Amino acid sequence: MTRETFSSRYALLATMVGVAVGLGNVWRFPYMVGRFGGAAFVLLYLVFALIIGIPALMAEWTLGRHTRRGTVGAFERAGLPGGRVLGWVFFGTVTAATAYYTNAIGWVVFHGLAGILAPFGAPLTGGDILPPHEGFGLRSFALQILFTGVVVMAAVVVLLRGLRSGIEKASIILTPLLFLCLLLIIARSLTLPGAGAGLEWYILKFQPSDLTPTVAMAALGQVIFSLALGGTFMVVYGSYLNRDDALGKNALWTVGGDTAAGLLAGLAIFPAVMALGMEPGSGPGLIFETLPRVFARIPGGWAFGTLFFVSLAGAAFLSGVAAFEVLVAGLTDNTRLSRRSATWTMAGLVLLLALPPMVNMGIFVPWDLAFGSGAQTAGVLVAVLAVGWGMKRGAFLKEMAAGTEDRSPRPWQIFLYHWIRWVIPGAILAVGLWWFLTDVIGVVTSV
C-alpha cells in the first residue's frame, strides 16, 4: 500500500497540534496545575516542554518517518532487540487506552449537548453520564454506551476517508475552533470581579520552595502526556511526514501550540474558579464537576459553558481519531486487512473494552493509570531508546538534515543525538519511578 503523506505544512501542524491538545491539555493540565501548586508547576512544565518535549517529539517523528511504520514494525525496523514484540505490546495497551479515552470523550460530548438543550428544559445534567464512584448506575452506564458509540462511529467516518480527506480536514476545522473558543471564554473569565486573584495564583504567585521533586516529576509527566508521546501516536503520524519536512521547526510549532492550549485553558478556568470562591485543586473533577457550577453562577454562563464543552469535544475527538489511527495502521501494516476492515475491527474491539471502565470510577481510574500514565511513559522510553540505540547515527543525522539546504551534520544535530540517547531516557526513568512509588505501591505520597 502507498503511504499517504500530509498535503501541506499547515495541514501537518493543524493535525499534530490537534493530536497533542485533546483532553490532555484542556482537562488534565488545569487539574494538574491545581493539584500541584499553581505557578511552580507551570514554570517547570514550560522548562520540560522545551528541553524534553521538543527533542522527544523529534525522536518519535524520526522513528516513524525513517521506518514508514507505526507502533508495530517501527521498533523492529529501527534495530531495537525484541522490537516487534514490544510493538504488539504497545498496540494492545493503546487499544485498552483508546477504550477509556473514547468513553471520556463521550462524557464531554454529553456535557456539550446538555448545555445546548438546557434552555429548552431538557432533563439533562452533565453529571448524569459520569460513572459512580462505586457500585453500578444503570442510567450512567446506558448513557455512556450510547455516547461512546457515537464517538466511535464519528471516528470511523473520518478514518475511512484516510489521512488527507479525513484526518486533515477534521483537524483544519477543529483545531482553530478550540483556540477561538478558549479566547472567548478567557475574555469572560478575566472580566469577573475578583478574577485577578486567580490570575496571580496561576502565573505570578511563585516561591522557590514550591519547586519540589514531586512537582518537578508531575510537570515532566504532564509534558509526556499532553504531547501524546509514548511510541504510538506520534510515531504513526511521523510515518506520514514528507521526506523534506523539517523536523525541528515543526516540533517547535507543535509543542508551542500544545503548550499554548494548556496555558489558555488555565486562563479560562482559574480566574473564574477563584473569583467565585471555589477550590482550584479539586482534581480530575475540575472540568466535569467544578466548572459547570462556575458557569451556572456567572452571567451568560450557559452560553460560555456550552461553548467550552463543544470546543473541548472537538479537540478531544482529534486525539481519539489519532488513537484509532495507531490501531488501524498497526493492522494494515502487518496483516492482509484492508483499511476499511481494520477500521471496523478496531471500532468493535474498542467498544467492547470500553465497557469495564463505564461501571464506576473504581475501575476507570486504575485503567487510566495503567494504560494511560504508565504505558505512555514506558512507550516514549522505548521510542527514544530505539532512536538513540537502535538506529544508526548516520540515519538519525540524515533525518535531522531533511528540509535544510546544507545536508552535512551540524553541531546541534550531533548534540541532539546524544541528548536523545542519554538525557531523555534518564528523565523518563525518573518519571516512571515517581509514578511507581506514588501510584502503585504508595511509598511516596503526592503533595
Query: Whats the size of the chain, residue-wise?
Result: 447
pLDDT mean by block of 10 residues, the chain; 447 residues: 80 85 82 85 94 96 95 93 95 94 93 85 84 93 97 95 87 88 88 90 83 83 88 94 92 94 90 84 71 78 84 87 92 94 97 96 84 81 95 94 78 95 90 69 59
Has residue 77 been placed in a domain? yes
For position 144, what pLDDT does the model report? 97
For position 299, what pLDDT does the model report? 78
Place of cell 532512536: 387
For position 145, what pLDDT does the model report? 97
For position 439, what pLDDT does the model report? 59
Amino acid identity at 417: Y
Instruction: State which residues form the domain around 287.
Output: 9-440
For position 447, what pLDDT does the model report? 46
Has residue 446 been placed in a domain? no
Has residue 78 been placed in a domain? yes
* Angle, CA of 378, 373 and 362, to the nearest 5°: 135
Q: What is the CATH number for 244?
A: 1.10.4160
User: DSSP assignment, residue 410?
Assistant: P
How many structural domains does the chain have? 1
Contact 156, 340 (CB under 8 A): no
Has residue 216 been placed in a domain? yes
Has residue 21 been placed in a domain? yes
Has residue 369 been placed in a domain? yes
Has residue 445 been placed in a domain? no
Has residue 383 been placed in a domain? yes
